[in-house]
Amino acid sequence: MTVGEKIKSLRLEKKYSISELSEKANVSKSYLSYIERGIQGNPSLQVLSRLADNLDTSVEYLMGKQNMKAARMPVDEEWVGLVDEAIKNGISKEDFAYYLDFMKFKSRRKRD
């Protein structure tokens, strides 16, 4: 999918008209139309940033550098803090993977 196709798809998903999104993102309606139709294939990062903010996604997603699920997933600061603390206390990726597998195993046993 091109940048324009992604923008159009997200716009339609949010049920925004071109006029609504152009107003919200402070981008001219004609310029937004050009982006969506692929006539303007290289919009500035500033424009992409304003569009991404209003479409609840990231510039990285629009540019094809991130998948949609990751782009929409909010960051829980408490989780970030817990992971940071675990790393500072010496947990390795292998240890983390082990604990995760153990929790999955434990969860499956409860269901059975």
Average pLDDT along the chain, 112 residues, taken 10 residues at a time = 93 96 96 94 89 91 70 67 82 83 83 68
Give residue 28's pLDDT.
95
Give residue 55's pLDDT.
95
Distance (Å) of CA 79 to CA 20, 69, 109: 35, 18, 25
Does one domain contain both 27 and 62?
A: yes
The total of other beta-carbon atoms located within 10 Å of residue 41's CB is: 11
CA angle 79, 85, 86 (to 5 degrees): 90
Give residue 85's pLDDT.
84
Give residue 66's pLDDT.
61
Does one domain contain both 8 and 62?
A: yes
Give residue 20's pLDDT.
96
Give residue 34's pLDDT.
96
Which residues constitute the domain of residue 104? 77-111
Give residue 68's pLDDT.
52
Does one domain contain both 68 and 81?
A: no
